[in-house]
Amino acid sequence: MTHTTVITKRSLAPLLVPLGAGALVAVALGVYGKAHAPTGFAVGVAGFSGPLAMKAWLTTGAALLAIVQVLSARAMWRRTGTRSAWVAPLHRWSGRIAFLLTIPVAFHCLYALGAQYDSPRVLIHSLLGSFFYGVFTAKMLALPRRGLPGWSLPVLGGLVFTALIGLWLTSSFWFFTTLGIRL
C-alpha cells in the first residue's frame, strides 16, 4: 500500500458510521412504509383544505428554506474570509425549520399512505422520501466528526437538497399543476 492509499482509507473512516446509520434509516423507512397497512388519516390539516394541500405547502416551505441552505452554505464555504456573522445562524435555523416542516408530511405519507409503487411518480416519491431521511441522518451525524474529507459535507448537503427538491417536484409541483394552487 502506498502512503496515499493509507491516507485516503483513513480519511474515509469517519464517514462509515454516518453513512451506515443513514442507510439503516432509509431502509427502515422504506420497509415500514411498505409493511405498514395505510390508515388513510394521520395528521390534522388545520388551516388547509386537506392533507394533500397541507403536504404541498409544507414541502414548498421546506424547499424554499433548502434554497436558503444552499445559498448560506455557499457563503460559509467561500474562501474570501469576508463572511458575515449572521450567515451560520441563518444556515442552522433555516435547516432546522425546513426539517421540522417535513416531519408532519413524512408522518402523513408513511402512516396514512405507506410506500406506494403503483405509478412512476409515486414510486420515485416514495424512494426519495426514504433516501432524504437517510442522507439527512448521515449529514447530521457527520457534522460533528473530525477528520472528514473536505468534500463530504458539501456532497451530503447537496444530496439532502437534491432529494428534497425531488420530493417537491413529485409532490407539491404535481399538486399545484394538477389540482391548482389552493390552501
- At 83 the pLDDT is 66
Residue 45 lies in a domain: no
Higher pLDDT, 53 or 183: 53
What is the value of pTM for the model shown?
0.85
**Domain hosting residue 101, numbered range:** 54-183
Label residue 118 exposed, middle or buried (CB < 10 Å: 0-12, 13-18, 19+): exposed
Residue 175 lies in a domain: yes
Mean pLDDT of 98-106: 93
Supply 104's cell numbers. Answer: 408532519
Residue 21 lies in a domain: no
Average the pLDDT over each of 43-47, 137-141, 144-148, 162-166 and give the range with the smallest value: 43-47
Residue 79 lies in a domain: yes
- At 44 the pLDDT is 72
- At 114 the pLDDT is 81
Give the model's confidence band at 60: pLDDT under 50 very low, under 70 low, under 90 confident, else very high: very high
| Cα 145 from Cα 80, distance rounded (Å) | 24
- Identify residue 101 by its one-letter amino acid code: L
Higher pLDDT, 159 or 144: 159
- Does residue 28 surpass a pLDDT of 50? yes
SS3 17: helix
- At 6 the pLDDT is 47
Residue with cell 443513514: 22
Average the pLDDT over each of 34-38, 57-61, 77-81 and give the range with the smallest value: 77-81
CB distance 123 to 117 below 8 Å: yes
Total structural domains in the chain?
1
Question: pLDDT digit string (tens) for 67-87?
Answer: 999 998 888 877 555 567 888
Residue 1 lies in a domain: no
Supply 6's cell numbers. Answer: 493509507
| Cα 79 from Cα 87, distance rounded (Å) | 14
Residue 38 lies in a domain: no
Label residue 45 exposed, middle or buried (CB < 10 Å: 0-12, 13-18, 19+): middle
Question: pLDDT digit string (tens) for 134-144?
Answer: 999 999 999 88
Give the model's confidence band at 149: pLDDT under 50 very low, under 70 low, under 90 confident, else very high: confident
- At 2 the pLDDT is 52
Residue 161 lies in a domain: yes
Residue 130 lies in a domain: yes
| Cα 119 from Cα 6, distance rounded (Å) | 46
Mean pLDDT of 146-173: 92
